[in-house]
Structure 1
Amino acid sequence: MEIQQKDKYTLVRIDASTQDQFEQKWEGLKTNHLVVEVSENLNIDNSKISLFLNIASDLKVNGMSFVVIKSGIDIDDFPENLNIVPTLQEAEDVLEMEAIERDLGF
């Protein structure tokens, strides 16, 4: 697992060998907007999605954003309140859009 502090968010890169570390340590990452880049070798199943949904809900309550970066998946298969995008640039765009929504009171 690789963790990078960016100016406006924390970027976490996980793969099959580090997914358990993320599940154990994400509580300590709740102080900033969180972007999780999921490796191509890691399949997202329903148990992982429920973890991501819980994280997204917890962060949203605290005025933070959560975005998953994973290419090659059909986002229609996942709940609407989970932001899944294929690139880091799109993740940054989602963070900016959500910041604007918060500023406008949505």
Structure 2
Amino acid sequence: MIIDQDENTTIITQEKASIIELVKKIDILYDRFKNNNIIVNITKLDVVKLSDVIEFLQLSNKHRKAKHSFVIVANNASFDEMPDEIIVVPSMKEANDVIEMEVMERDLGF
């Protein structure tokens, strides 16, 4: 797991860990970046299944409830299968765009 900081966004890149291990590690280290927007980059996986994304749902809900963005980047996912409760995009550019839009919405009181 690689953790990078970019202004108010933490980018977590999955290297070799399984999705379950990655979620556990993020949960353990959560206090380090709980006040930032989070991008989880899992593009190194050959295929991203719905069950993989569901593993992040509890963490995503907790983070979004605290008024911060949580976005998963997965270029090998079937986006039609992804639940509406979690944001999954195919590229880092789109992840940053989503965060930018959500920050504007929060600033406007939405």
- What's the TM-score bracket when you normalise by the shorter of the two chains? 0.7 to 0.9
Inter-partner Cα distance in structure 2 for 1:60 and 1:79: 15
CA drift of 1:85 comes to 0.9
Inter-partner Cα distance in structure 1 for 2:65 and 2:45: 31
Give the corresponding residue for 1:78: 82
Give the corresponding residue for 1:41: 45
Inter-partner Cα distance in structure 2 for 1:103 and 1:65: 13
For normalisation by structure 2, the TM-score amounts to 0.82
Gaps of 5+ in 1: none
CA drift of 1:86 comes to 1.0
For normalisation by structure 1, the TM-score amounts to 0.84
Deviations 1:6-40 (A, max 9, x none): 1121001114x223542222132323111000033
Give the corresponding residue for 2:91: 87
1:105 aligns to what SS in structure 2?
Answer: coil
- Count of residue correspondences: 105
Gaps of 5+ in 2: none
The structure 1 segments of at least 4 consecutive aligned residues displaced by more than 4 Å after TM superposition are none
